[in-house]
A = this chain, B = another copy of it.
Amino acid sequence: MFKYELIKKDTKSKARLGKITTPHGEIETPIFMPVGTQATVKSMTPEELKEIKAQIILSNTYHLYLRPGHELVKEAGGLHKFMNWDKPILTDCGGFQIFSLGPLRKIEEDGVTFKSHLDGSSHFISPEFDMEIQNALGADIIMAFDECAPYPCDYDYAKASTELTTRWARRCKDAHKNTENQALFGIVQGNMYKDLREKSAKDLIDMDFPGYAIGGLSVGEPSELMYEMLDFTVPLLPENKPRYNMGVGSPDYLIESVYYGIDMCDCVLPTRIARNGTALTSSGKVVVRNAEYAHDFTVLDPECDCYTCRNYTKAYIRHLVKAGEILGARLLTIHNLRFLIHLMENIRESIKNDTFMEFRQEFYRKYYKKDIS
C-alpha cells in the first residue's frame, strides 16, 4: 500500500519530482509537511489545512504517548479519526524530543529512560515499545526509534550513537506489526562524520526500508556543514525510495534540501514564528508585530493566495498580535504554512519545466536579496 514513484530528475541539480502513495492518498514530492505535534497543527482545522493544500502532516510519538496516550488514540480509531484528518500522516519516533530532554533522559542499549516534561513522571521507551505506540497511532509513515546526537559531538560518541541507532532500527523493523498500512522509514545518523553517515546509510539500506530519513542535521551546525552532509549522504540512498530531511523549514533549507535530492521536509518554524507575529513572504521575513506596520493597510504578501492575504491588512494582523488575540496566530499560521507549501509547489513546477536552478536563484534574490552560487 506504500509506493514511491520517481517521476523526473533535474539535469542541473539533484532535485527530483516524485509521488508517494499511502493508504490515505498520494503525496507529490518534494513536499513540506506541517507539524501537528499534539494531534493538531497549532490553531488550524483539517479543512483549513486542505485549503492551503497540505498533503501530509506530522505528529509526534513522544507527545502523544504522554498525552492523551496512544491507547486512547487507538481506542478512538487511530490518529486520523481522533483528529478528523483523512489524508496522510507521518509520526516522528520521538527520538529527537527525548534527546532534547537533556539531563532528564538516560540512553542505554535496551532503550531510553526519561522524565516527562509535563509532570516529571518516569518512562521507558524501547524500539519495540516505540513501534507499539506508532502502530497504535496508525500513521501512514512511521519512523524508526533513533538517538539524535548533539552538535558538536566527538567522534567516539557519534560512532557509538550511530551504531546504537542502527541496532535499534533493526529491532524496530522486527517489532513493526502493521507493515501493510504503515511504512517504516529508517533514519540515517552519523553526526557530521562522513564515514559514519556512509556506514549508517549502508547498514539501513541492507535492511531495506521503504524510505530513508536523514536525522541529526539542523541541530546547530553552520548551514554550509549541513549542505556538505546532504551533498555527501543523499547520493548514498537508493533512488527508488523517498528521502526525508528531518526538521528543516526555513526557505533556504527547503530549497537546498531539494537541490541535494531530498523529497520531504518538516519543521515547526512556520507555525512557531506565526505565533510570535512573524510572516514569511515572497520578499522576505515580515515581523508584522513591529510598529512600522501599525498603519500598513496592505496585505502580508501580494503574491500569496491564502485566506489571510485575500482578506486582512498588516495593520489588522498587527493589532491582533499586539492584543494577544488567537485570530492573529491563526491568520499568520495559515499564511506561513501556505507560503512554504506554495514554495514547494513552485519548486515542483520548476523541476517539471527544467527551470529549478533559475527558480532557486530568483528566490534567493527576492527573499534573501543575494545571489546563490
A residues near B (Cβ < 8 Å) are 38-40, 42-45, 67-68, 72, 75-76, 82-84, 294-295, 297, 307, 311-313, 315-316, 318-320, 322-323, 325-327, 329-330
Contacts and interface: CB of A to CB of B under 8 A. Distances in A.
Best-buried of A43, A45, A67 by chain B (most CB within 10 Å): A45
Nearest to A322: B67
Best-buried of A75, A315, A323 by chain B (most CB within 10 Å): A323
Given A72-B295, A297-B76, A326-B326, A312 B84 contact: yes
> 9 smallest A-B Cβ distances: which pairs?
A43-B326, A68-B319, A40-B327, A38-B323, A40-B325, A84-B311, A326-B326, A82-B316, A76-B297
Nearest to A312: B84
Contacts of A68: 294, 315, 318-319, 322
A270 B255 CA distance: 45
A226 to B, nearest CB: 31
Contacts of A311: 84
5 contacts: A38-B319, A42-B327, A82-B315, A82-B319, A326-B329
B326 A76 contact: no
A316 B84 contact: yes
Contacts of A82: 313, 315-316, 319
A76 B315 contact: yes
Nearest to A84: B311
A212 to B, nearest CB: 31
Nearest to A323: B38
B75 A327 contact: no
Contacts of A295: 72, 75
A33 to B, nearest CB: 18
A249 B307 CA distance: 31
A49 to B, nearest CB: 11
Contacts of A44: 327
Contacts of A320: 38-40
A330 B322 contact: no
Given A68-B315, A315-B76, A316-B84, A325 B294 contact: no
A74 to B, nearest CB: 11
A216 to B, nearest CB: 28
Contacts of A329: 326
A310 to B, nearest CB: 10
Nearest to A63: B323
Nearest to A316: B82
Contacts of A43: 326-327, 330
B313 A76 contact: yes
Contacts of A75: 295, 297
Contact of A316 (B76, B315, B318, B330): B76
A147 to B, nearest CB: 26
A326 B42 contact: yes
Contacts of A316: 39, 76, 82-84
Contact of A294 (B72, B84, B315): B72
B72 A315 contact: yes
A112 to B, nearest CB: 22
